[in-house]
Structures are given as C-alpha cells and as structure tokens.
Amino acid sequence: MLTTHFSRPKRLSRPQTPPPFRLTDRDVALLQAVARWRFATSDQLVRYMRISDPDASEQNVTRRLMALFAHRYLDRPSNQHVQLQAFSHLVYGIGRKGANLLAELGEDIDPRLKWATKNRRASNAWLLHALGVTEAMILFEAACAMRGDVAVRDGGSLVGDLPEHTRKLRDPMRLRVSITDKGKKIPLSVVPDRLLSLTLTNERRFNFALELDTGSMSVTGRFARKITAYVAAFREERHREQWGFQGFRVATVTPSEKRIMNMLAAQNAITSGRLAGMFIYTTPQRLNAHGPLGPIWITSERDDVSLLEGA
C-alpha cells in the first residue's frame, strides 16, 4: 500500500523565542470565536472581526493570531494539508493557555481537556467539515448584524438556556430516541452539526438544527438515519424535554440542487410526505449569494423559503 508522508509545514511550528506579547480585548474576542466554533481559518476570523469592527485590518488580525499561536493561546492543527493547498489560510484551534484564560473569564469550556492532542487528531476531512460549519455561522452573524433586529446564539452560548437536567449531560446537544422496526426496538441518536436560535427584538424565537453535508454522506444511508432520528425525536417531543424548544427545523446545506432533490425523496419516503416544513435545504451557492436569512431555502412543498417568514 502506498503511503504518503507529509513533512510538517514551517508555518505549523511555533518560534523558539516568542516575540513580546500583551493580551488585548481583540485577542480575547479571537479566542472566544475559535473556542465557540472549534476551528476557524485566519480569513474567517478576519471577516468575523469586521462584522463588529469594519475597520479591523487583515494585517492586524493576522498579526494577533500569530502572536496568540506563538504564546500557546491558539493552536494550528497539524493535519491541515488539504486546507493549506486549497486556500492557503491557516486553521486555528484553541490552545491550552487559551482554554485556561476563557475558563477564568467564565466561558463554557473545559480547560482540563488536552486541547493540543484533540487538535492534532483532527483529520483533514474533519477539519474541512468543521470549517464549513464555521463559515455558515459567520454568514449567520453577518446577516443578523445587517438586519439589526435579530441575534443568533449557537453551541455553547445556548447551553445556559437549556433545562437544568440537560446542562448536566455530557453531550447536551445529542437527542437519543428509539424506533420500532419489525417488532424490535432500535436505539438512535443524532447530534446537529450546530444547534442555533435566532431571536428577534420582540423575543420571537426560531430554532434550528444545522446540518452541513459535504456530499460524501450516503443519502439513503447515513442521511436517512438522521432524518429518521429527527422525526422520532420530534414525535416524542425530545426537543421540548431536552432543549426546551417549542419547535425546531432541520436546516441542511448541501452541495447541489440535484442532491437536494435526492434528499427530499429520502425524506418523503421516511415521513410519508408529512412534516414538510420541518426540513429545509439550501446550497452554499445560495447561502453565499443571498445570506442565510434570504429566501434561499427549499422544502418538499416549495422553493424560496425564508427562515424568518411571518416575523
């Protein structure tokens, strides 16, 4: 079997003598963003910082990221060869010192975890998927900031809103259900790629389980199992019990319109055409062109659906 060995790029190695450094508020904001989404590229972090500070320069943000990496507040995962070859943007994950600092500031992060080891074990495929989720969330942040009357909360920032018994769970986002097939009970579970809420200034709230499909997942296999688990969880009202949500929709981003048609066919086979509005789909092209709050979503009944219809 042919094995390809990659040498560690110089950009992934820390300098032996880090430059002088003093933490700033911007540094803390960068650490919070990386911890929130697990992984982010330098380009994504520049664009995220510009949402709240349009004058933030790429050079300044990049310089701060380099310093945070040099002083072990941030880490650069070693398995990012595909990312570097395709985009040349470095990927950052939280480092040990960054986790310790955020924990001291009251962030929902476990400083006892071996973050460097977790970052090192992240495969190229896992990184690219995680970065796709980060990209979607940055688009949500930008769209909400532009609209002005809606805020997005996701991941760890939602944990404080969850029921007390859920907050004590090891994985509070995971829904566990069981289905009956041929008289036999089969356990299923599903974890959204991102759980998020959009809250308007009038306190009306829209909840979503975001799924990012890269095209490698079998529509009739793994995707169908996800749909089955979400439907079972909805019917058992697990979303109310575990997340405290009155309702939620599953928003899937997938590479092509053709794949959406295949997903809709799988969904209809599982649901017998019911719960049409619970599952919505779009493509990265639609997402980038019009933003997540635009009329870019497709259901089994119609196209051009908006996440905030009727708001």
Q: What is the pLDDT averaged over residues 288-305? A: 96
Q: DSSP H helical segments within 18-177, as ranges?
A: 25-37, 42-52, 58-70, 81-87, 96-104, 115-121, 124-147, 156-159, 164-167
> Is the predicted pLDDT of residue 192 greater than 60, yes or no?
yes
Task: Give the CA count within 13 Å in the CB-facing half-sphere of 139.
Answer: 19
Q: In the prediction, which pLDDT does 87 show?
A: 67
Distance CA 171, CA 302 (A): 34
As a dihedral over the C-alpha atoms of residue 134, residue 136, residue 138, residue 143, rounded to 10 degrees, the angle is -170
Least confident piece of the model among 12-16, 176-180, 237-241: 12-16
Phi-psi region of 240 (alpha: psi -120 to 50; beta: other; left: phi over 0): alpha
Residue extents of the structural domains in the chain: 22-130, 149-290
**Bigger pLDDT: 122 vs 282:** 282
What are the DSSP calls for 83-129, one per residue?
A: HHHHH-PPEEEE-HHHHHHHHHTT-S--TTS-HHHHHHH--HHHHHH
Residue position matching structure tokens 């041929």: 182
> Is the predicted pLDDT of residue 311 greater than 90, yes or no?
no
Asked whether the beta carbons of 217 and 193 are under 8 A apart, the reply is: no
> Is the predicted pLDDT of residue 2 greater than 50, yes or no?
no
Q: In the prediction, which pLDDT does 308 show?
A: 95
**Bigger pLDDT: 214 vs 16:** 214
Q: In the prediction, which pLDDT does 4 show?
A: 41
Class of domain 22-130: mainly alpha
Q: In the prediction, which pLDDT does 184 show?
A: 86
- pLDDT, tens digit (0-9, with 9 covering 90-100), for 240-267: 999 999 999 999 999 999 999 999 999 9
Distance CA 179, CA 187 (A): 7
Least confident piece of the model among 169-178, 249-258, 277-286: 169-178
- pLDDT, tens digit (0-9, with 9 covering 90-100), for 115-171: 989 999 999 889 999 999 999 999 999 999 999 999 999 987 888 889 999 988 889
Least confident piece of the model among 2-6, 145-149, 299-303: 2-6
Asked whether the beta carbons of 232 and 179 are under 8 A apart, the reply is: yes
| Beta strands, E only, 248-293 | 249-253, 279-282
Distance CA 135, CA 87 (A): 14
* Whole-number Cα distances in Å, 223 to 37, 152, 218: 23, 26, 6
> Is the predicted pLDDT of residue 5 greater than 70, yes or no?
no
Provide Rg for the chain, Cα atoms. Answer: 20
pTM of the model: 0.91
Instruction: Give me the percent of the chain exceeding a pLDDT of 70.
Output: 95
